[in-house]
Amino acid sequence: MIKFFSALKGDRLIWIIIFLLSLISLLVVYSSTGTLAYKVRGGNTSYYFVKQLVLLFASFLIIFVVHRIPYRAYSSMANLALVLAVILLLLAKFVGISLNETSRWISIPGVGFNFQPSELAKLALIMHISRTLSKYQLENACSKEAFFKIIAPVGVVCFLIFLDDFSTSLLLGVVSFIMMFIGRVPAKLLLITGGSVLAFVIIVIALAPYMPSVGRIQTVRSRIDTFFKEPVTKNESMNYQVVQSKIAIAKGGVMGKGPGNSEQRNFLPHPYSDFIFAIIIEEMGLWGSFGILLLYMFLIYQAGSIVKKCSRTFPAFLVVGLSLSIVSQALINMMVSVNLIPVTGQPLPLVSMGGTSLIFTSVAFGMILSVSHWVKDPEEQEKMVRERESRERDEEEDSETTEQLTA
């Protein structure tokens, strides 16, 4: 057991967060998939529990392997990963599998596994932005050239995702702009570009009724209209999941109904993925949901601590981008469940049931842990330098003494 824990390198608190989120995932997925199991698996309620357990074990192996790779390797493979992601996004668009009225899935032949290229695109784009920002850092700012080398890939990737997955495209675009802002890209360029993109999105959504065959623009427009529409009636199918989520939250109260005692899992669509946070509140109460929120807040806090230890810019930008992506996605999922924003379809990272999101979230965690493992604290680095210099002096003195004795 001691050897097992000694093999886990990097930030200990992040490892604890991973284990706690995985444990919560097992409990809530098992509780929320009972009805689905009866409908699809003939009453085998343990099927999805075992499936999630296997996926979490595979995710842990991915984290373990990725976190033992020096972070420098991710800088080298950033451009290749980005090219591969764009190719897969195009393949998904033209020959992908259509699920939920979209074509954003690719099936791996002979394996029977479907995955979303947009998840790979998120990682690839964050790696590319981190590499470019670190390459073009000046003494007091970042070169304008970095902006133009970043904005083109961001535009291509976000546009390819935008037509079929508006929320993921928006999330990735916002994270990209925050990274450029932190990377000291001229604010004027960011404001002009951001304003232009916002105007484009507003125009597209406004013209959605006249573009019925363009991606999921109609669905996005409908969800926004439904969010601002009051009162909510039982006949409004688009609001049904929001209503059931509110009922789950109300039933949970402060202390919750206890693990496995959810009632709304039988009525709430996708209680194991998009609306899993509502089930968490119903079973664990407000205190339990607050604990989940704290875990993600601790993650962003620890990411800041890791960044402070970085003596190089690439690992610092990489940790910022990956942690922002994970935490932002978590906050979006939570806000949807409590009806603070329109329905988006974003899963809760490392908690919701699923394959693609779980796998690539694990890769992101592995990269963060890799940086925390391979980057040393500045004071520790100075100590190591002093120790090395001291050893070199001792070796030189020993060599001189040996020469004198020989003479």
Residue 34 domain flag: yes
Residue 274 domain flag: yes
Provide the domain count of the chain.
2
pLDDT digits (tens, 9 = 90+) for 328-366: 999 999 999 888 888 888 899 999 987 788 999 999 999
Residue 233 domain flag: no
Whether residues 191 and 276 fall in one domain:
no
Question: What average pLDDT score do residues 375-389 get?
Answer: 55
Is 70 exceeded by the pLDDT of residue 194?
yes
Question: Which residues, including other chains, have CB under 8 Å from residue 50's CB and lie 6 or more apart?
Answer: none
DSSP code for 113: E
How far apart, in whole angstroms, are the C-alpha atoms of residue 364 and residue 283?
29
Is 50 exceeded by the pLDDT of residue 51?
yes
- What b/e sequence results for 116-130 when a residue is b if at least 16 CB atoms lie within 10 Å of its CB, and e otherwise? bbbbbbbbbbbbbbb
Residue 87 domain flag: yes
Residue 407 domain flag: no
Is 50 exceeded by the pLDDT of residue 234?
no
pLDDT digits (tens, 9 = 90+) for 70-105: 999 999 999 999 999 999 998 888 776 766 555 577
Residue type, 298: F
Whether residues 108 and 56 fall in one domain:
no
Residue 272 domain flag: yes
Closest CA to 372 of 307, 321, 326: 307
pLDDT for 109:
64
Strands 97-99 and 113-115: unpaired
Q: Are 378 and 311 in contact (CB under 8 A)?
A: yes
84 versus 378: which is more confidently predicted? 84
Residue 319 domain flag: yes
Whether residues 54 and 95 fall in one domain:
no
- What b/e sequence results for 146-156 when a residue is b if at least 16 CB atoms lie within 10 Å of its CB, and e otherwise? bbebbbebbeb
Which residue among 228, 253, 277 closes a domain?
228
Whether residues 299 and 378 fall in one domain:
yes
CA distance readout (Å), 88 to 82, 93, 157, 322: 10, 8, 11, 21
Is 50 exceeded by the pLDDT of residue 384?
no
Is 60 exceeded by the pLDDT of residue 237?
no
Is 50 exceeded by the pLDDT of residue 235?
no
Whether residues 261 and 356 fall in one domain:
yes
Does the predicted model carry a pTM greater than 0.85? yes
Residue 406 domain flag: no
Quickly state the pLDDT bin for 123 (edges 50, 70, 90): very high
Whether residues 220 and 82 fall in one domain:
yes
List the domain range (segments joined by +) for residue 357.
1-68+238-399
Question: What average pLDDT score do residues 97-116 get?
Answer: 66
Is 60 exceeded by the pLDDT of residue 231?
no
Question: What average pLDDT score do residues 35-61 get?
Answer: 86
Whether residues 265 and 393 fall in one domain:
yes
Quickly state the pLDDT bin for 182 (edges 50, 70, 90): very high
Percent with pLDDT over 70 in the chain:
83
Whether residues 91 and 133 fall in one domain:
yes
Which residue among 169, 193, 228 closes a domain?
228
Whether residues 374 and 286 fall in one domain:
yes
Give the residues across from 99 on adjacent strands: 102
pLDDT for 92:
83
pLDDT digits (tens, 9 = 90+) for 239-252: 788 888 889 999 98
Whether residues 273 and 198 fall in one domain:
no
pLDDT digits (tens, 9 = 90+) for 158-175: 998 887 888 889 999 999
pLDDT for 4:
57
Whether residues 132 and 20 fall in one domain:
no
pLDDT digits (tens, 9 = 90+) for 285-328: 999 899 999 999 999 999 999 999 888 899 999 999 999 999 99
Is 90 exceeded by the pLDDT of residue 378?
no
How far apart, in whole angstroms, are the C-alpha atoms of residue 17 and residue 15?
5
Quickly state the pLDDT bin for 391 (edges 50, 70, 90): low
The mean predicted confidence, pLDDT, of the chain is 84
- Whether a cis peptide bond, with omega within 30° of 0, leads into 231 is yes
Whether residues 162 and 188 fall in one domain:
yes
Longest dimension (CA), the chain: 101
Q: How many Cα neighbours within 13 Å face the side chain of 93?
A: 18
Q: Are 7 and 37 in contact (CB under 8 A)?
A: no
Is 50 exceeded by the pLDDT of residue 15?
yes
